[in-house]
A = this chain, B = another copy of it.
Amino acid sequence: MAKYVYLFKEGNASMRNLLGGKGANLAEMTNIGLPVPQGFTVTTEACTRYYTDNCTIGEDITEQIYAALAETEKICGKKFGDLENPFLVSVRSGARASMPGMMDTILNLGLNDVAVQGLARLTGNERFAYDSYRRFIQMFSDVVMEIPKPLFEKVLDEIKEEKGAKFDTDLTAEDMKDVVARFKGIYLEKKGEEFPQDPKVQLMEAIKAVFRSWENPRAIIYRRLNDIPSDWGTAVNVQSMVFGNMGETSGTGVAFTRDPATGEKKLFGEYLINAQGEDVVAGIRTPQQIATLEQVMPEVYRQFVDIANKLEAHYRDMQDMEYTIERGKLYMLQTRNGKRTAAAALKIAVDLVNEGMRTKEEAVAMIDPRNLDALLHPQFDAAALKKATPVGQGLAASPGAACGQVYFTASEAAEAGMSGQKVVLVRQETSPEDIEGMVHAQGILTARGGMTSHAAVVARGMGTCCVAGCSALKVDEEAKTATIGDKVFKEGDWMSINGSTGYIYEGAIKTVDAAVSGNFATIMEWADSFRRLSVRTNADNPRDTATAVRFGAEGIGLCRTEHMFFNADRISAVREMILADTEAQRRAALDKLLPMQKGDFKAMYKALEGRPMTVRYLDPPLHEFLPAKNMTEEIEAIAKELNVTVEHIIHKIDELHEFNPMMGHRGCRLAVTYPEIAEMQTRAVIEAAIEVNAEDGYDIHPEIMIPLVGEVKELAYVKKVVVETAEKVMNEHNTHLDVKIGTMIEIPRAALTADEIAKEAEFFSFGTNDLTQMTFGFSRDDAGKFLTAYYEKKVYENDPFARLDKNGVGRLIELAAELGRKTRPNLKLGICGEHGGDPSSIEFCDAVGLDYVSCSPFRVPIARLAAAQAALAHRK
């Protein structure tokens, strides 16, 4: 028969999946001889059973709970509902991963009309006993029976008024009996039955309540934010109660073995005398610093320090502990690896290595890569932030803090930015045309669009702070006003936004640049020595390139050439090319673009200082470079500038209109129809490399990437154009470069026929943004319409654009890698797209044997660390 209940002495720290974190650690502490109030853990598997059994607890499990209860009573020498020595327990949730405060807890369970007398007798404190009983009734009614809490608070207030008491503590034992009676009255009235006197009934109801709380809304949201699968379930810990509120020799507190903010090695924490844990949390009394305990209870303090050291040494990590002192006796209620700031995490990891407690490998594995993000972006000055109140909140779309003057159009934002102003670009939503304004803004705020909207994606790529999709924000681009509630921002007004929290503030809040501390560098160095994956960056301009190189990028994995096309000085030639009716006209326009594109590539090569660069050829549908049909003014301006008729432009816009642009005339389909574009881009790539090699003495081997290939003949056709042009250019310059030609794998068919594609491609780069869209069959621009319902109904637990979908997209990647390498064993495999900077996706990339990941500049350190962790994990 499956075992669903474990006494603490039966478990250990390795059983976290089954017992939850808290349960496993209580067992471990029991085993190493620490003073732990005894009890048992109902497993996470029992929780899963609870849900598959239609929210009931099976008889087999109930029997095991009762058996464990009897055993624990024996260990503690107490008995449920006993007049002499009543057994009281706490019932707490405890999932595999820590989810603080997300689920339910019930204390003092076991109290009834008899046990309360026993407790009074045993403690010689009738008031304490009845106070505990009324607390229990209140908590049980609220948490287990869903009777609204305010009903009880109101009664308590009434009694205090009747008795002329100011605080709860002013109430006497008799008063408390009165409270108990009235609370039981509320229960009877609301539930239609007496408050349950059988502690076993109380226990089973409490356990069910904890199981239920696994699915409460805040727990669901927490899980989604923290990538915790809903099928893990929670364990339930039933533990003998100890009381920190039995007078001046009792108390309760929490402590960390090191400072969780800085990582400094010193005991850090607080305690309250004569209090229960909930009082610490409630924050009514101000707790004391732990160091002062040495004066108050020297023996207990020494014992605690001893235990803390023992626990840190045992777990070899900074511990976050909860403890209670009952009449001078210390009990450990919980220990776990403590949460910490990113800076503290780095310092602790390095210190633990220096102290000989951890290996470098372990230190690298300890850091959560996602936390590093906070160290890489500007932040608000903490003091200045304290004084500010947000006027609204949007989605935390791209981290960091920004303050600047509000501008409503990309061109004005760009102008202001170039003249040295700090700028926050505020838009209804952004489009590729806004790119120049975005580049020159400190921050970007949009009213529409989700985490994967254009604004969000581009901002993250550039490392620029962005708050997106603030639905309360009304942007009137004509009138140049932005309104949130009753607050109106005009052009030039100061605004501050926090892309890590989504908050929007009025006025200028001081920001501070993040510093890369020595510990950070140390950890990165160790990480680099362990990782197998190379880390490249996605960058399209020298500024981002330089940032990425500073952050340790080993090259560019994705240079999107079209981003260069949107610059004011290029867009005109680009439009001339699009409006061309003949190949000759198109070539004339391309001739104008060539020197600019070449100049761009030269600047990028120089910023890379000899590192490799993969250039992706023109990808977006051409209509993205033209205004919308109803933008009459823009169209007229273009007509004038290019000396064509308005009708001609409108005709082209109509001609280029697509029902589904994502699945339209883009990517290599452009190069197949207009090979002259690929010719121009090849000439630019090769000439730039030749010139930079000559000027700076580098040895650049250009890497050319053909996007959106779905069929090997497509790639073969474009490759032929590229090879012939490259050879022509090299002959003209009497030189030779090794040029690698590869493709994006971003269309399912490319993955499915990767054996064919590899005949032509020298490398694959998985474009997982598009591959995710095509594999799931939804466009990320449109998915917002239904994804909310999907999260609510638990159809999806993660955003597949943020975290690689291993079951579907991942299967395609594995298949493509396998097929591709079958054809070409030395095929280089990488990933670009946003997943390249996501630790869980990087772990997958390492597992399936890719060679590199490429991510936005600000995620390069995260990727380096995640790659090291993946390599360490896969060593095992």
Contacts and interface: CB of A to CB of B under 8 A. Distances in A.
Interface of A: 658-665, 669, 672-673, 708, 710-711, 713-714, 717, 746-749, 752-753, 756, 770, 773-779, 781-783, 785-786, 789-790, 793-796, 805, 807-809, 811-812
Contact of A663 (B669, B777, B794, B807): B777
A808 B714 contact: no
9 contacts: A662-B663, A663-B773, A663-B777, A672-B795, A673-B786, A711-B795, A749-B775, A752-B811, A753-B808
B672 A781 contact: no
Contact of A711 (B673, B756, B789, B796): B796
Given A714-B795, A717-B793, A660 B782 contact: yes
A549 to B, nearest CB: 33
A663 B711 CA distance: 21
Contact of A752 (B659, B663, B714, B775): B775
B663 A663 contact: yes
A782 B658 contact: yes
A807 B756 contact: yes
Contact of A660 (B673, B781, B794, B812): B781
B789 A672 contact: yes
B789 A673 contact: yes
B778 A777 contact: no
A717 B792 CA distance: 12
Nearest to A675: B793
A663 to B, nearest CB: 4
Contacts of A746: 777
Given A713-B795, A790-B672, A777 B748 contact: yes
A765 to B, nearest CB: 16
A129 to B, nearest CB: 49
A808 B778 contact: no
A752 B664 contact: no
Contacts of A749: 775-777, 805, 807-809
A660 B664 CA distance: 10
B777 A710 contact: yes
A231 to B, nearest CB: 11
Nearest to A657: B782
A748 B808 contact: yes
B807 A753 contact: yes
- Among A661, A770, A790, A809, which residue has the most Cβ atoms of chain B within 10 A? A790
- Among A659, A714, A782, which residue has the most Cβ atoms of chain B within 10 A? A782
Contacts of A777: 663, 708, 710, 746-749, 770, 774
Contacts of A781: 658-660
A31 to B, nearest CB: 40
Contact of A776 (B662, B747, B786, B794): B747
A390 to B, nearest CB: 27
A809 B711 CA distance: 12
A408 to B, nearest CB: 20
Contacts of A756: 807
Contacts of A776: 710-711, 747, 749
A618 to B, nearest CB: 14
Contact of A664 (B711, B753, B778, B805): B778
A170 B69 CA distance: 123
Nearest to A663: B779
A446 to B, nearest CB: 15
Nearest to A787: B669
A796 B665 CA distance: 15
Contacts of A783: 664
A6 to B, nearest CB: 31
A661 B795 CA distance: 21
Q: Give the 5 A-B residue pairs with the shortest CB-CB distance, closest first.
A: A749-B808, A660-B779, A747-B777, A663-B779, A664-B782
A747 B746 CA distance: 15
A795 B673 CA distance: 11
A873 to B, nearest CB: 25
A562 B778 CA distance: 20
B717 A795 contact: yes
B661 A659 contact: yes
A676 to B, nearest CB: 13
A581 to B, nearest CB: 15
Given A660-B660, A708-B777, A717-B795, A786 B747 contact: no
A455 to B, nearest CB: 14
A658 B747 CA distance: 21
A505 B774 CA distance: 43
A809 B747 CA distance: 12
B659 A713 contact: no
B660 A661 contact: yes
Contacts of A664: 778-779, 782-783, 785
Contacts of A807: 749, 752-753, 756
Nearest to A778: B663
A535 B808 CA distance: 31
Contact of A665 (B785, B794, B811): B785
B808 A752 contact: yes
Given A753-B808, A795-B672, A782 B665 contact: yes
A659 B662 contact: yes
A809 B661 CA distance: 21
A299 B169 CA distance: 133
Contacts of A658: 779, 781-782, 785
A717 B713 CA distance: 41
A812 B749 CA distance: 9
A793 B781 CA distance: 33
A417 to B, nearest CB: 28
A783 to B, nearest CB: 8
Contacts of A661: 659-660, 782
Nearest to A777: B747
A711 B786 CA distance: 14
Contact of A808 (B660, B662, B710, B795): B710
Nearest to A714: B795
A672 B792 CA distance: 10
B748 A774 contact: yes
Contacts of A717: 793, 795
A807 B785 CA distance: 34
A294 to B, nearest CB: 55
Contacts of A805: 749
Given A664-B782, A673-B785, A749-B807, 8 more contacts: A665-B786, A669-B786, A669-B790, A672-B795, A711-B795, A747-B776, A748-B775, A774-B774
Nearest to A662: B660
A176 B871 CA distance: 86
A645 B118 CA distance: 71
Contacts of A809: 749
A663 B784 CA distance: 12
Contacts of A752: 775, 807-808, 811-812
Contacts of A663: 660, 662-663, 773, 777-779, 782
A766 to B, nearest CB: 14
A811 B819 CA distance: 13
Contacts of A790: 669, 672, 714
Contacts of A774: 748, 774-775, 777
A789 B749 CA distance: 20
A756 B717 CA distance: 39
A753 B669 CA distance: 29
Contacts of A773: 663
